[in-house]
Structure 1
Amino acid sequence: MNRIDVSDWLVDDQEPLGKDPKIWLTPNGEDLPIGDPSTSWLFKSAKSGEHPNGRTYRRYDDYVEVIVHELASLLGIPTARALLAVRNEAEGVISRNVIRDSHSALTGDMSLLGTPGYVSCSGDDRVTPRPGHNLPNIAATLDGLKGPSNTPYEDWSAIDVFSGYLMLDALIANNDRHAENWAVEYSMIDPLDPDRLAASFDHGSALAASIEDSACRKKLLGIEKFCEKGLSKRFENQRQTLVELWRASLDVSSDRAWSWSDRLMELDESHFERLCNEHQFVSEPRASLMINILKVNRRRILECSPHR
């Protein structure tokens, strides 16, 4: 898969959220394979990890962002479109803005402010725990809101769609769903335009992206235990597995949310192999690890599906 060169794209703004530098860009040109050329995209450089001995290595967040978006599309889960990119020779990924023109976003953190027991995570580097970031508070905050615009879920309740995001997290082993990694979209000009849950975004920490290549085979040998260690570290209950968190979300959602696991059951596992192997710069051990994470977590999710 070729990277899109965004070196000459126009810089709109710096992204203030997150620890790593990111910039918003607008395409400068025509006939680019990205759809609407007026849409802004967030460019994130490929990250580096650090070995305990101080040696650094390349992480694979950029590839994972692309794979997760394509996987989510197969499941019908709304996510930010992601494409491999390069900017001034720096490899990375561009992620499409999920907020429409004339609209703005409130992060989950901002939406939850004032909720009894909630402690803001803004500017806080703690991984665990996240007081007040729990399903009852999220459901209450999303009460009355609709699903993302321009999707089949515009008339769904926001919490039913959010349950789909949590199932995706459980499938891809994404434990980075903190309160600034989901958002509510609202209109800045039309008070009758309902507030909506924004499409899901920022999945680069999933599928063991932070693990260096040399460790992939070892993780693969203990894949069951590795997947069971996928905990909801960005939520109040840090001991809950991602699968348990998704299953608990069904208790605060309507029966519509049950359909997400039905779609997962219908999805053939051959798609996992295709998606993880089509990026020629991903090593065989890494591709195998990602494929097996998806297979094991798919089975774990379906084992506790309400339709089982």
Structure 2
Amino acid sequence: MFETWDVSHWSLIRQETIGADEKYWLAHPTDGQPWLFKANNIHENAAGSWSQREDFAEKLGGELATAMGIPCARIEFARRDDELGCISLNLCPEGWELQTGVVVLDGLLEDYEPGYTARNRVRRGHSLENIRWALEGYGPPPGADVPSNFDAFDVFAGYVVFDAMVANRDRHDENWAVMRPPPGSGRPTLAGSFDHARALGSTLREAKITALLQEEGVPKWCYRGTAWRFEHDPEHGCPTLVDIASRALRMVAPAVRDHWLGGVADITTTKVASLTSRIPDMSVVVSTFIEQVVTTNRRRVLDGC
């Protein structure tokens, strides 16, 4: 089983201000490295309470991304006092500055409207074309296990392919970032992938998952996975996650496309099952659902990209 770290006595560095959910940067007691703690959301209603297990999605997302060769944050299960959740190791090297996509695009485009504003429901400006433009001159994340000739957008294309695999609809302009080194210390880079908490159906209650499995509804659920966080025409609807992945792979060299599709092909049902079997407290219903989601999307990506 994957270990659950007790971070109850780790020193608080600061609260993270990006994002809607409460998150805290904590210092590892041995080496002082900063880790971000995120507790699972607890929902209350007349029937009682239930935990949205974002930690499942974060941990499995990180493990699957690593298996695909996607640079990403290291994730561990964690407990802080009576709260369960996960921690992610800071991606940004000491002395570097991390800037989210909203900052990068705002500096590039006139009148850029962040995706979190109510006026920008169609995510105008947050397109693959603008992201590629914004990443010109940037390198891959430090230490990324990708071919030496890959640039930042080559790696970002891998991120959206990964999103299609794990049904991650949440790649908005604050869920990707760049990192800038101190002056004279090299070129800026893309940051590793982070925040996969909404992937793998983490917002679904187990009763809904059971119904999907009984009705053989997982493929239909997967096909409804839209890339609504990217720019789209409201009259024609949102592209699917696979559509966005396919479009990104058409924007890169054939060798880059082959690299990421090779990573997709490596994610077999056996590989997914070997990971879900190590998740503490994961039910057979949830593990079966996740295995079917990834298997379905793997086939869709390989056929559609």
Q: TM-score, normalised by structure 2?
A: 0.91
Q: Which residue of 2 aligns with 1:119?
A: 113
| Deviation (angstroms), 1:118 | 3.2
Superposition misfits of 4+ residues, deviation over 3 angstroms: 53-56, 124-128
Q: Does 1:232 align with 2:220?
A: no
Q: Which residue of 2 aligns with 1:99?
A: 92
| Deviation (angstroms), 1:296 | 0.2
Q: Secondary structure at the match of 1:138?
A: helix
Deviations 1:258-307 (A, max 9, x none): 110122113332011111222131111111111100000000000023xx
Q: Which residue of 1 aligns with 2:11?
A: 10
Q: Which residue of 1 aligns with 2:283?
A: 283
Q: Which residue of 1 aligns with 2:251?
A: 252
Q: Secondary structure at the match of 1:105?
A: strand
Q: TM-score, normalised by structure 1?
A: 0.90
Q: Which residue of 1 aligns with 2:199?
A: 206
Give runs of aligned pairs for residues 78-157 of structure 1, distance below 5 A.
Answer: 78-113=71-106, 114-116=108-110, 118-122=112-116, 124=117, 128-153=121-146, 155-157=149-151
| Deviation (angstroms), 1:57 | 1.5
Question: Aligned equivalents of 2:70 and 2:278: distance in 1?
Answer: 21
Identity percentage of aligned residues:
31
| Deviation (angstroms), 1:28 | 1.3
The answer on whether the counterparts of 2:140 and 2:151 sit within 8 Å (CA) in structure 1 is: yes
One-letter identity of the residue aligned with 2:153: I
Q: Does 1:43 align with 2:17?
A: no
One-letter identity of the residue aligned with 1:163: A
Structure 2, unpaired ranges of 5+: none
Q: Secondary structure at the match of 1:156?
A: coil
| Deviation (angstroms), 1:171 | 0.3
The verdict on how the C-alpha distance between 1:173 and 1:9 changes in structure 2, with shifts beyond 3 A counting, is: same
Of the candidates 175, 193, 198, which is equivalent to residue 181 of structure 1? 175
Query: How many residues are paired up?
Result: 295
Question: Aligned equivalents of 1:196 and 1:156: distance in 2?
Answer: 11
Q: Secondary structure at the match of 1:43?
A: strand
Question: Aligned equivalents of 2:140 and 2:96: distance in 1?
Answer: 15
The answer on whether the counterparts of 2:268 and 2:295 sit within 8 Å (CA) in structure 1 is: no
The answer on whether the counterparts of 2:169 and 2:227 sit within 8 Å (CA) in structure 1 is: yes
The verdict on how the C-alpha distance between 1:205 and 1:49 changes in structure 2, with shifts beyond 3 A counting, is: farther
The verdict on how the C-alpha distance between 1:266 and 1:45 changes in structure 2, with shifts beyond 3 A counting, is: closer
The verdict on how the C-alpha distance between 1:250 and 1:159 changes in structure 2, with shifts beyond 3 A counting, is: same
Q: Secondary structure at the match of 1:144?
A: coil
The answer on whether the counterparts of 2:165 and 2:298 sit within 8 Å (CA) in structure 1 is: yes
Question: Aligned equivalents of 1:252 and 1:140: distance in 2?
Answer: 12
Q: Which residue of 2 aligns with 1:162?
A: 156
Question: RMSD of aligned C-alpha atoms?
Answer: 1.9
Deviations 1:186-222 (A, max 9, x none): 01x2334101000000001000001111111112221
